[in-house]
Amino acid sequence: MKDNFIEKILQKTKINAVILASGRGSNARALFEYIASDDNLKSSHSWNLNGILSDNENAPVLQFAKENNIPSFYIPYSKDKNIPLSDRRKDHNHRLIEKIKSLNTEIDFVFCAGYMKVLTKDFLDFFHDKEDDVYRVINIHPSLLPSFPGVNGYRDAFNYGVKKSGVTVHFVDEKIDHGTIIDQAVFERMDDDDLNSFSARGLEKEHILYVDVIKKLQNNKYLIKNTENNRKYISYR
């Protein structure tokens, strides 16, 4: 009997991942730098990055992937307003699944790193672990969830006037910025901050936190527990 779904994955020596990203790609870079490092390569369960997928043809993250010989894929998302959003979303998610299937490797984890499109239940189901009822899809969000979900986490927290903010790595579920929290990191707002300096401080935390999470996953440091109100939370071994 395994403690959690991660142990099942760790029966293999290679853990296969893809990254979904829509833009700049600094989190994708942070993950890649770790995955390419000796630290990872010498681990008994090393991460393998099988590709970076983007809905944005001109995303700098695709350029970064090309420069670093990471397989990169532009997966179109129709902008045709005559087609209902739900259909366009469904079509895009279907294309994502087909591309991931075509990689001919079983993908263990999907890392969203600034991925600005909604993942559908069909997509998530493709990565569903039945025993733990978790989707093997992880996201990083620029606020201390559940505060400030949505596309402008830094801006919303800054404009609210928080004294401390943070970043969250979480499992993705059917609702936006809602799934089980894996870990969080906190940073302070300084008196002379503007939105740029505030966001930059947060972004540094993101890179450290996301890499820390994938290290802990590969070292089987997480246990999935249940709160009394039926949410899950992650504790450490």
Query: Which residues bind to ligand GRF, rule: CB under 6 A?
Result: 21, 23-27, 113-114, 140-142, 203, 206
The phi and psi torsions of 85 (rounded to 5 degrees) equal: -55, -40
Q: Which is nearer to ligand GRF, 103 or 203 (CB)?
A: 203
Which of 157, 43, 22, 23 has its CA nearest to residue 92?
Answer: 22
Burial of 7 (0-12, 13-18, 19+ CB in 10 A): exposed
Q: How far is the CB of 204 from ligand GRF (least distance, A)?
A: 11
Q: How far is the CB of 44 from ligand GRF (least distance, A)?
A: 28
Q: How far is the CB of 140 from ligand GRF (least distance, A)?
A: 5
Q: Which is nearer to ligand GRF, 142 or 166 (CB)?
A: 142
Q: Which is nearer to ligand GRF, 92 or 141 (CB)?
A: 141
Distance CA 26, CA 208 (A): 11
Maximum distance among all Cα pairs of the chain, rounded to whole angstroms: 53
Q: How far is the CB of 235 from ligand GRF (least distance, A)?
A: 24
Q: Tell me the residue nearest to ligand GRF as measured from the CB.
A: 114
Q: Which is nearer to ligand GRF, 102 or 159 (CB)?
A: 159
